[in-house]
């Protein structure tokens, strides 16, 4: 059975991606979450409502022992299943001016996006390499391409993800594994609820925030056979804000 693992998929963008992959490809969805089991269960319920199926997979992406233990356990119990698609979506923001930023805010944001990508991808890619196929899709950000004042930690974390995407794509291309990143701009989600939308919308030529489902459709395309010749790319989806 072909599966898709989406980190941080209990809410927001990750949830939309999980549902879309179930609809478009029929993947068995592994819903990763860190603590909000109720939200994860709601995601699974919505996947079932559209005719899909899946299960919850709890671990904190930035803690390598948790990632290894959870995925080793899953592999042992699912010897005939293949995680064909990995979406590294988990991420957090702790915004603030760099000169006053606590070290913990820097470390936490870097660890979830950048170290989290390392932890999960290194474990999952082993099976992809053996089977000589797979799709890895990293959810980066406009912040990682353009740089956003007040988000030096987040820009650094997503910038690292972008560089890692380009390098890893070249390492595994001969095994028929593609590695791409999607860089959303301003998307309606819990992460942007506190934004002054009237001010930010002025920056967007399309004059609106994007919706999670629009990003999910792009991720779904990259997970498909139609995208087999696309790798090492960072694809913007930001309403026309180009870095």
Catalytic positions are: 154
Q: Whole-angstrom distance between the N-terminal and C-terminal Cα of the chain?
A: 40
The DSSP element (H or E) to which 160 belongs, if any, is helix 152-172
CA–CA separation, 10 and 39 (whole Å): 5
- Alpha-carbon distance of 129 to 169, in angstroms, equals 12
E-assigned strands of 36-175? 53-58, 82-88, 134-139
Angle between the N-to-C axes of helices 152-172 and 103-110, in degrees from 0 to 180, rounded to the nearest 10: 30
Structure tokens at 123: 């474990």
Report d(CA 179, CA 2) in Å as an integer.
18
The beta strands (E) that lie in the chain are given as: 2-6, 28-33, 53-58, 82-88, 134-139, 177-184, 234-237
Chain length of the chain: 243
Distance of CA 28 to the CA centre of its chain: 17
């Amino acid at each position: 059975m072909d599966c898709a693992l989406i980190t941080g998929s209990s809410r927001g963008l990750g949830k939309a991606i999980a549902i879309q992959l179930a609809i478009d490809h029929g993947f068995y969805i592994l819903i990763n979450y860190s603590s909000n089991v109720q939200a994860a269960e709601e995601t699974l319920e919505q996947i079932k409502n559209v005719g899909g199926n899946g299960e919850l997979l709890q671990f904190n992406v930035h803690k390598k022992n948790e990632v290894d233990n959870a995925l080793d356990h899953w592999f042992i119990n699912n010897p005939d299943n293949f995680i064909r698609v990995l979406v590294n979506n988990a991420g957090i923001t702790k915004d603030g001016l760099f000169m006053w930023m606590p070290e913990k805010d820097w470390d936490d944001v870097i660890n979830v996006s950048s170290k989290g990508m390392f932890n999960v991808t290194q474990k999952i890619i082993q099976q992809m390499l053996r089977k000589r196929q797979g799709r890895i899709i990293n959810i980066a950000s406009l912040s990682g391409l353009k740089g956003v004042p007040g988000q030096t930690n987040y820009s650094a974390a997503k910038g690292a993800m972008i560089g890692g995407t380009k390098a890893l794509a070249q390492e595994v291309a001969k095994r028929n594994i593609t590695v791409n990143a999607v860089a959303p701009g301003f998307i309606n989600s819990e992460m942007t609820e506190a934004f002054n939308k009237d001010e930010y919308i002025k920056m967007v030529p399309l004059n609106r925030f994007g919706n999670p489902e629009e990003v999910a459709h792009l991720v779904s395309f990259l997970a498909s056979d139609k995208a087999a010749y696309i790798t090492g790319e960072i694809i913007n989806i930001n309403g026309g804000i180009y870095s």
